[in-house]
Amino acid sequence: MFVVRWILGRIILLLNFIFSPKKRQRPESEQVKIDMQTQNLSLYQYNACPFCVKVRREMRRQNLNIALIDAKQDSNKQALLIQGGKLQVPCLKINNDGKTEWLYESKAIMNYLNDNYAKA
């Protein structure tokens, strides 16, 4: 089963590379503003997870510079489990005014990104 997962993961990454979406073009001043807003966001993810790929594609489409954190590393896995409450990816960590919110599910994350940054 490990080999099948590994092969499928590589196929997903290859297809994502080949058919990578085009980045949204914004004026530089708007992009700087968006980059400042997304500094408080980080995405806990696995590199070959299809749902994580889906969220990363949306981030690229919106041209959002959000920190990517590999949840397979022990320290990141523990942070996700202890602080977020469950070991599930993708997970968007949102820091706002000292409050931290953990957003799970790819659809919910993409809706959050579209609602907050697509109009900007």
pLDDT at 120: 53
Question: Per-residue pLDDT tens for 29-45?
Answer: 999 999 999 999 999 99
0.85 surpassed by pTM: yes
Per the prediction, the chain carries an average pLDDT of: 93
How far the first Cα of the chain sits from its last, in Å, is 44
Please give the C-alpha separations between residue 114 and each of 1, 17, 29, 78, 86, in angstroms, as whole numbers.
Answer: 36, 22, 19, 29, 24
CB burial readout 25-34, b (16+ within 10 A) else e: eeeeeebeeb
Q: Who's near 22: CB < 8 A, 6+ residues apart?
A: 61
What is Dmax (Cα atoms) for the chain? 48
Closest by alpha carbon to 59, among 43, 70, 40, 37? 43
Contact 71, 104 (CB under 8 A): no
Q: Which residues in the chain come in under a pLDDT of 70? A: 120
Give residue 74's pLDDT: 93
